[in-house]
Structure 1
Amino acid sequence: MNAVSPDSFVDDRLAKRNALLLAFAQALGGAAASIVMATGPLVGYMMLEDDKSLATLPISVMVLGTAFGTIPAGMIMRRFGRRAGFMGASLLGISSGLLASLAVFQDHFLLFALACCLGGFAGAFMQQYRFAAADTASDAFKPKAISWVMAGGVLAGVIGPQTVIATKDMFAPVLFAGTYLAQAGLAVVALVLLAFLKIPKPPRLSHAQAGGRPLSRIMTQPRFIVAAACGICSFALMSLVMTATPLAMIGCGLSETDAALGIQWHVLAMFGPSFFTGNLIGRFGKERIVAIGLALLAACSIVALTGIEITHFWTALVLLGLGWNFGFIGATAMLTETYRPEERNLVQAVNDFLVFGFVAAASFSSGALLNLFGWGTVNVLVFPFVVLCLGLLGWLVVAEKKAVTTA
């Protein structure tokens, strides 16, 4: 049977429709992550009696769940399609919220951590939203489709923290039990939206094309190496600093509401620029946007090191979110240039496994670093990784220009 051209799979009208649906689903699903970011360390701190350094464990296991879920997510969606995978993940999100609420009622830390891990596993599927939006998009529209989906996080940045503020005392004196019930409700709405998603199955390929290139060959491409490294650093450094911030704020005498609002501004900064990040990538190039993102991550740490007032924390969180947006979306756009249509599910899953594996490590170490060495050390660690990634980007640009010149 003759292979179908990949061009027949391109439909920007459909891509726009899917991107909008996925953006709203991202707003609701992403709210769950921001709820855990804002409350997970605080819940852990309240539940733990002895070793308070484990207070950030709920965020860490959420990220670890995402890391473990990336490969299964790719395999499931390759077998059953994007919509089935995303809707199944929403059911997991509902279960996660209900289980977390039960754990808070029972003051059971390990059960709460398990609920966060389950939510992270569901989050692995949500990480594929950005790739799903690009599935039917033309090369010109792909960066915009990715940005549209990521822009859904703007609403998540409001919905998550505001849900915390509105529901934290719902079952007083048991703090945050109502928050996680509300999280389950948000997942129900996301499930309904995802039922309207329409992503055709990939084009049928010839036997020779079906398997794609060996994964080792794909992963040794210079562009893949740099894209993955920049994506890993952008996300892992963000997680390292963000995870420690609520506890650092409480330790400096600020309130839980101050911390929740700080996370709100952070998440807004993470996703707000997505309305125009795609256009910036089209105008200035992926590499420049990634470099700007890395510079903003460094600027976040500089501000954090200058003081411990609420303005320092909030400004640093905003810069941290902006840096993540430019660095991670730019790296994602770079990654889409490294694989063929028949290779996308495996490559995307492997990339996300690498990203969230390192993010989990950063999150796990964040609480211990803060507890043992202080807020300053957490921020100083950002600089060497930023320098490393900027060096890799420079090497890639020079190498590719040289290759074009000698071709």
Structure 2
Amino acid sequence: MNQAKKNVSLLVACQALAMTGSIILFTIAALVGVSLAADKSLATLPLALLQLATMCATIPAALLMRQVGRRLGFMVGVLIGTLGAGLGVLAIFQSSFSLFCLATLIFGCFNGFVGYYRFAAADAATEAFRSQAISFVVSGGIIAAIAGPGLAIWSKDWFVEPSLANEPLLNQAASAEYAGCLVMIVILQIAALVLLSGIDIPPLSEQEQQKSGRSLGAIAQQPVFIVAVFGSMLGYGLMAMVMTATPLAMVAFSHSFETAASVIQWHVLGMFVPSLFTGFLIARFGTLRIILAGAILSSLCIAINLMGTGALHFGVALLLLGVGWNFMFVGSSTLLTQAYTPVERAKTQAMHDFLMFAFVAFATFLSGRLLESFSWAVVNYIGLVMILIVLVALGWFRQQRGAIAKSHSTL
């Protein structure tokens, strides 16, 4: 196996471990928040802070990796994630909502590094293989989809006293419940650290170190950049908002934690299984058509969520949402690679992920507020507005591209 293939394989494995930890945390965080927070509308605040930290970490992570290289940069990120998960364990034992918020904030900084796994693979790939490289790395989430919810169920009662095991879900003392889930995340982080030691990605060239290319303003004015950001930002924001609210909504509609975890598992499978072929679909049908397909699938999720609140409704809707997210995320990430030159890639990727995770943080926090203050239906109606904006952006970009092609043909 040559080094390029080895790098991609290791990045896939690291993505799998990172996503497994994130899925465990996303499965339990809102429920821990409900148990710890005096104001139940703040239940999703820890996840919102996680997304906020991810947003804030994207630019420093890019700058760090520009200076020290991908491998060392990724290893620093994993150590930060280990610290965050460890603090989460302490927060649960101390029944401290503020400390749990700090823990998710630190863990979010780690996620700011994880976002560059896909770009590390894309940067090392040929142009023809770029979409497949991104897709393959994202496919690491398939393992996470299978393992994450199961590990959450298996580990959540590791430190629960037997006398409390049969207490109602939202009434259990949070001092011990779910602490095992955070310990599991620490174990996953240690495994990722070992794998990262085998990655060997060439450092930036002298040209990339010395030149900066166009300004961020000039890059951001390109229609291709605007549409890539809208596709990623709104597609990811919609997914995070609906997924974060789903466990809370399901418990409110009298579904068990195990049922909610199963729904999240099917959702995550929908997020990552398509990555086995999304890159090939992009090569066959084009990036814009795949983003459009993702928007349509996401709208079907909203429709099903509004039709009922049974376990089947939640399961099918979240599965469609996962596939829709995959098409929009991989498609938009691939589209972004058309917006920059090699010397511009670090700052362009950083700006893209900064904007994306800023909106995801907002949408994640908004989900709890909307669910607590209004209803599950309102959460979905807001998601529908996000989809409509993506559809408008795609239509505008097609018009812009058509106008440019027409002007070139008349020259």
TM-score, length-normalised on structure 2? 0.94
**Are the aligned partners of 1:15 and 1:145 in contact in 2 as well (CA < 8 Å)?**
no
Among 129, 139, 145, the alignment partner of 2:127 is: 139
C-alpha distance in structure 2 between counterparts of 1:41 and 1:145, whole Å: 33
Q: CA deviation at 1:15?
A: 3.5
1:162 is aligned, of 150, 153, 165, to 150
Between 1:169-178 and 1:336-345, the stretch displaced more is 169-178
- Residue 75 of structure 1 corresponds to 63
1:35-184 to 2 correspondences below 5 Å = 35-48=24-37, 50-173=38-161, 174-184=176-186
In the alignment, the residues of structure 2 paired with residue 16 and residue 335 of structure 1 have an alpha-carbon distance, to the nearest angstrom, of 23
Q: In the alignment, residue 181 of structure 1 is paired with which amino acid? A: V
Gaps of 5+ in 1: 1-11
User: 2:206 is matched by which residue type in structure 1?
Assistant: R
Q: Which amino acid aligns with 1:150?
A: V
1:157 partner amino acid: A
- Provide runs of 4+ in structure 1 moved above 6 Å: none
Instruction: Name the CA distance, whole Å, in 2 between partners of 1:329 and 1:39.
Output: 26
**Structure 2 residue aligned with 1:211:** 212
Q: Could you say which residue in structure 2 is the equivalent of 1:344?
A: 345
Cα shift at 1:273? 0.4
Quick one: which amino acid aligns to residue 17 of structure 1?
K
Secondary structure of residue in 2 paired with 1:116: helix
* Counterpart in the other structure of 2:173: none
- Corresponding residue for residue 188 of structure 1: 190
Question: Could you give the per-residue CA deviations for residues 134-185 of structure 1, whole angstroms, max 9, x where no partner exists?
Answer: 1111000110000010000111112221111111111113211111011100
Q: How does 1:5-404 map to 2 (within 5 A)?
A: 14-48=3-37, 50-173=38-161, 174-205=176-207, 210-404=211-405
Is the Cα contact below 8 Å between 1:266 and 1:320 reproduced in 2? yes
Q: Does the CA contact (< 8 Å) of 2:66 and 2:204 recur in 1?
A: no
Q: After TM superposition, give the deviation of residue 95 of structure 1 in Å.
A: 1.1
- Structure 1 stretch displaced more, 349-358 or 166-175: 166-175
Native 8 Å contact 1:161 1:264 kept in 2: yes
Question: Whole-Å Cα distance in 1 between the matches of residues 27 and 10 of structure 2?
Answer: 26
Partners of 2:83 and 2:64 lie apart in 1 by: 19
What secondary structure does 1:175 align onto? coil
Q: Specify the SS of the correspondent of 1:305.
A: helix
Deviation at 1:14, TM superposition (A): 3.9
Q: Secondary structure at the match of 1:324?
A: helix
Cα distance in 2, alignment partners of residues 120 and 267 from structure 1? 19
Equivalent-residue separation in structure 2 for 1:197 and 1:339 (angstroms)? 25
Shift of the alpha carbon at 1:33? 1.1
- CA–CA distance in 2 between the matches of 1:15 and 1:136? 7
* Cα-to-partner distance string for 1:316-336 (whole Å, 9 max, x where unaligned): 111111110000110000001
Look up the equivalent residue of 2:9 and give its one-letter code.
L
* Aligned counterparts of 1:262 and 1:26: Cα–Cα separation in 2: 21
Deviation at 1:13, TM superposition (A): 5.2
**Distance in structure 2 (CA, Å) of the matches to 1:130 and 1:247:** 31
Query: C-alpha separation between the residues in 1 aligned to 2:3 and 2:345?
Result: 19
Partners of 1:141 and 1:14 in 2: how far apart? 16
* Aligned partners of 2:236 and 2:360 also within 8 Å: yes
Hey, what's the Cα distance between the residues in 1 that align with 2:192 and 2:117?
12
Distance 1:313 1:13 in 2: 44
Question: Counterparts of 1:222 and 1:97 in 2: how far apart (Å)?
Answer: 39
CA shift, 1:92, in A, is 1.1
Letter in 1 for 2:83: S
> Partner amino acid for 1:32?
G
Could you tell me the TM-score, scaled by structure 1's length? 0.94
- CA apart distance, 1:206: 8.3
SS in structure 2 at match of 1:201:
coil
Q: Give the SS at the match of 1:28.
A: helix
Cα deviation, 1:278-324, whole Å, max 9, x if unaligned, reads: 00000000000000001111111100000010000111111111110
5+ residue gaps, structure 2: 162-175
Shift of residue 20, structure 1, vs aligned partner? 1.2
CA deviations 1:350-383 (Å, max 9, x no partner) are 1100000000000111101001110000001122
Q: Which moved more, 1:227-236 or 1:397-406?
A: 397-406
Distance 1:206 1:288, change over 3 A: closer
1:34·1:156 contact (CA, 8 Å) conserved in 2? Answer: yes
User: Counterpart amino acid of 2:312?
Assistant: T
